């Protein structure tokens, strides 16, 4: 959950690395560092805090060179201090490296190296790699020493290394954490993610686990960790750097909220084949789904927001396609001994495609003979490469830590999947099918209309911004909506505690906390359980709680039950989780803004959770 960058070429190295690190800051931002080979040795600058602190340090004492590496950190081992910031160097200061991942056997390796005389400076699990390479380099040339060191590591890593003895070279390797090569003209990059290299090149090569790469200005040598040479072509990235910038919005999160009509037209609209009256998944996905039989069951795994999308998917797949579905947090799934076999299809949902727990769940599923379908936003990511089939969400790059458009796109794909399987299993009659397709075709416009409530939501946010606790309640499809709404708020506004509950659970405990003015966001959109939700509102208000109600447009009766009312277009329940997400995201955003929060980079979080 850190961002790493390496550069070899003729551009000014520090400026190039800092620019690339800025595009990776979403991966971690508690400290940062840079190291440059300057022709005489390795020059290192590190700072605690955000990247701008490092940029100021580099501006005060510039770095010169043609080869270097940089890091933006999300601490796992050792506090976010200057000494723990990467790059880390060996005893002699002749090897510098940056790392993303966790070295699980660092303690035993450290003890061994300390006994051999190595002096450690930090509390990280990373520094040991530099000393281990140094130790092997006493008897091996550098590339072999690097390889020998990697073979001793347990855990996950993407590493990028420079060495004084190799003044024109940059080395990288991955096992369990993402690493890509940006292939330019007379220059090359290593990076955790594509946006880091996009302003220089669109030619990208993805590394697989247990692979190592040696880069020079005009050299690229890819091997396995065992040293076997590999051949792989770079692929061309089709989206550009503008798609990963703020475009006039104050925050990435707000930009991404407003991108949802477009994202959903990519995710859903482009897959509706109205003329043929079918959902146009690509051939590989159709073939994968065609093999689904009546004896099969589904297991959905995901983390965080993607897990909430999975819960919505469970309701839809069971209701429309009549398929039994289990949904698990990937972090639990991998340790609970799930019973899987060839009749199980595991659906793994992930925006980044790099979430360590979800990836581990996929590996476990495959080892037990299950088939894996990924729903993912990031082309070429580890999860897409390890799955048997992929449905891309095509939401475009999501930079803000709080997921918005990726969530609605995931729900969009799950809706398509549920309807496709309903038809495949003959669970739907033609008029109903046509209605569904018609509703889905209108989805981008409906979301556009839901966004128009922003001014009203901003006023409501101001009214409640000082509250310290929020509840979110919903039933059926809006139970996951309630979980997601609460997650959005607590994620970007850390001074507020927010919990989401199934509205029917209130009486079983949470209601005891309600007191005068306690804000409760209630999802009361049109649904078969609307009357029950209305009763839950009465229960809250009877205890003087304050209900912010999200309801369907045209519901005249609801206003007298609401302390604050937000409406979204009236639609069939099928698409209501997507519409409900819009006011929930805007409410969280504006409450956080009134509270002066760091919205795109909330404390203690990172966009991509590549460690367990
Ligand atoms: C969402 O707002 C969060 N940042 C987080 O819960 C996220 O959804 C989770 O870490 C899963 O990430 P993924 O979709 O990239 O796998």
| Bridge-based pairing state of the strands 211-216 and 155-163 | unpaired
Taking only the tens place, the pLDDT of each residue in 301-310 is 999 999 999 9
**Among 308, 309, 355, which is best to mutate for testing ligand 1, by the most ligand atoms less than 8 A from CB?**
355
CA pair distance 75, 83, nearest whole angstrom? 12
Across all residues in the chain, what is the average pLDDT?
A: 94
CA pair distance 514, 469, nearest whole angstrom? 10
Torsion of CA 296, 298, 299, 304, to 10 degrees: 170
- Please report the pLDDT score of residue 414 as a whole number: 98
Ligand 1 centroid from CA 399, angstroms: 11
Q: For ligand 1, say whether the CB of 377 is within 6 Å of any of its atoms.
A: no
Ligand 1 centroid from CA 465, angstroms: 25
- Please report the pLDDT score of residue 598 as a whole number: 93
Ligand 1 centroid from CA 94, angstroms: 38
Determine the longest span between alpha carbons in the chain, in angstroms.
81
Q: For ligand 1, say whether the CB of 393 is within 6 Å of any of its atoms.
A: no
SS3 of 305, please?
helix
513 is a catalytic site residue: no
Question: Taking a C-beta distance cutoff of 8 angstroms, is the pair 333, 364 a contact?
Answer: yes
Q: What is the pTM of this model?
A: 0.78
Query: Which residue in this structure is represented by tokens 């939501």?
Result: 457
| Bridge-based pairing state of the strands 170-175 and 297-302 | unpaired
- Please report the pLDDT score of residue 142 as a whole number: 96
- Please report the pLDDT score of residue 1 as a whole number: 63
CA pair distance 488, 508, nearest whole angstrom? 24
DSSP 102-168: EETTHHHHHHHHHHTT-----SSSSHHHHHHHHHHTTTS-HHHHHHHHHHH--EEEEEEEEETT-TT
**Among 313, 351, 402, which is best to mutate for testing ligand 1, by the most ligand atoms less than 8 A from CB?**
351
- Please report the pLDDT score of residue 394 as a whole number: 86
Q: Residue 93 class from Cβ within 10 Å (0-12 exposed, 13-18 middle, 19+ buried)?
A: middle
- Please report the pLDDT score of residue 253 as a whole number: 96
607 is a catalytic site residue: yes
Ligand 1 centroid from CA 174, angstroms: 22
Q: Is the peptide bond before 87 cis (omega within 30 degrees of 0)?
A: yes
- Please report the pLDDT score of residue 238 as a whole number: 79
Q: How many helices (H) and strands (E) does the chain have?
A: 19, 26
Question: Taking a C-beta distance cutoff of 8 angstroms, is the pair 539, 511 a contact?
Answer: yes
- Please report the pLDDT score of residue 128 as a whole number: 98
Taking only the tens place, the pLDDT of each residue in 260-288 is 998 999 899 889 877 778 898 988 999 99
**The pair of three-digit structure tokens given for residue 382, joined into one six-digit string:** 């580890």
Regions in the chain scoring below 50 on pLDDT: none
Domains assigned to the chain? 3-242 (3.60.20.10), 246-441 (3.40.50.10490), 452-612 (3.40.50.10490)
Q: For ligand 1, say whether the CB of 601 is within 6 Å of any of its atoms.
A: no
Torsion of CA 344, 345, 346, 350, to 10 degrees: -170
What is the atom index within ligand 1 of the atom nearest the CA of 303? 11
Taking only the tens place, the pLDDT of each residue in 509-558 is 999 899 999 999 999 999 999 999 999 999 999 999 999 999 999 999 99
Torsion of CA 67, 71, 77, 82, to 10 degrees: 90
CA pair distance 548, 537, nearest whole angstrom? 10
């Amino acid at each position: 959950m850190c961002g790493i960058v390496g550069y070899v070429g003729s551009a000014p190295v520090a400026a190039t690395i800092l620019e690339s690190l800025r595009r990776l800051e979403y991966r971690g931002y508690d400290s940062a560092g840079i190291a440059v080979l300057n022709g005489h040795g390795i020059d290192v600058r590190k700072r605690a805090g955000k990247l701008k602190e490092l940029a100021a340090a580099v501006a005060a004492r510039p770095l010169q060179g043609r080869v270097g590496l940089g890091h933006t950190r999300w601490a796992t081992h050792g506090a976010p201090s200057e000494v723990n910031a990467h790059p880390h160097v060996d005893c002699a200061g002749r090897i510098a490296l940056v790392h993303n991942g966790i070295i699980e056997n660092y303690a035993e390796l450290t003890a061994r190296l300390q006994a051999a005389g190595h002096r450690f400076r930090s509390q990280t699990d990373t520094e040991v790699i530099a000393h281990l390479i140094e130790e092997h380099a006493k008897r091996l040339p550098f590339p072999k020493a690097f390889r020998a060191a990697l073979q001793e590591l347990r855990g996950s890593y993407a590493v990028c290394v420079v060495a004084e003895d190799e003044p024109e070279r940059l080395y990288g390797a991955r096992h369990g954490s993402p690493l890509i090569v940006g292939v330019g003209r007379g220059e090359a990059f290593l990076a955790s993610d594509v946006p880091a290299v996009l302003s220089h090149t669109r030619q990208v090569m993805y590394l697989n686990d247990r692979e190592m790469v040696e880069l020079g200005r005009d050299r690229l040598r890819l091997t396995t960790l065992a040293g076997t040479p590999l051949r792989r072509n770079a692929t061309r990235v089709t989206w550009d750097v503008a798609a990963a910038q703020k475009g006039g919005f104050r925050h990435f999160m707000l930009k991404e909220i407003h991108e949802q009509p477009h994202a959903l037209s990519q995710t859903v609209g482009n897959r509706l084949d109205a003329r043929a009256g079918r959902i146009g998944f690509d051939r590989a996905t159709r073939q994968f789904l065609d093999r689904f039989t009546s004896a099969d069951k589904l297991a959905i795994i995901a983390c965080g927001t993607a897990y909430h999308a999975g819960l919505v998917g469970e309701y839809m797949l069971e209701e429309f396609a009549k398929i039994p579905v289990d949904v698990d947090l990937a972090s639990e799934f991998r340790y609970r001994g799930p019973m899987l076999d060839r009749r199980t299809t595991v659906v793994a949902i992930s925006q980044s495609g790099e979430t360590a727990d979800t990836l581990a769940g996929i590996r476990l599923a495959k080892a037990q003979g299950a088939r894996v379908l990924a729903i993912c936003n990031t082309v070429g990511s580890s999860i897409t490469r390890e799955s048997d089939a992929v449905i891309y969400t095509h939401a475009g790059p999501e930079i803000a830590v709080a997921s918005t458009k990726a969530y609605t796109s995931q729900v969009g794909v799950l809706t398509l999947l549920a309807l496709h399987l309903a038809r495949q299993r003959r669970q739907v009659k033609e008029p109903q099918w046509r209605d569904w397709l018609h509703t889905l075709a209108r989805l981008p416009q409906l979301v556009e209309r839901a966004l128009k409530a922003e001014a009203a939501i901003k006023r409501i946010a101001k009214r409640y911004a000082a509250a310290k606790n929020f509840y979110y309640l919903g039933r059926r499809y809006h139970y996951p909506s309630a979980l997601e709404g609460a997650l959005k708020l607590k994620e970007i506004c850390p001074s507020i505690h927010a919990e989401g509950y199934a509205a029917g659970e209130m009486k079983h405990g949470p209601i005891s906390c309600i007191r005068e003015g306690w804000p409760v966001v209630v999802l009361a959109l049109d649904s078969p359980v609307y009357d029950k939700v209305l009763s839950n509102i009465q229960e809250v208000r009877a205890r003087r709680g304050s209900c912010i109600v999200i309801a369907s447009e045209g519901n005249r009766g609801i206003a007298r039950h609401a302390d604050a009312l937000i409406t979204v277009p009236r639609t069939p329940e099928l698409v209501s989780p997507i519409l409900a997400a819009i006011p929930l995201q805007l409410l969280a955003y504006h409450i956080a803004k009134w509270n002066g929060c760091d919205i795109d980079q909330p404390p203690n979080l990172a966009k991509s959770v590549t460690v367990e």
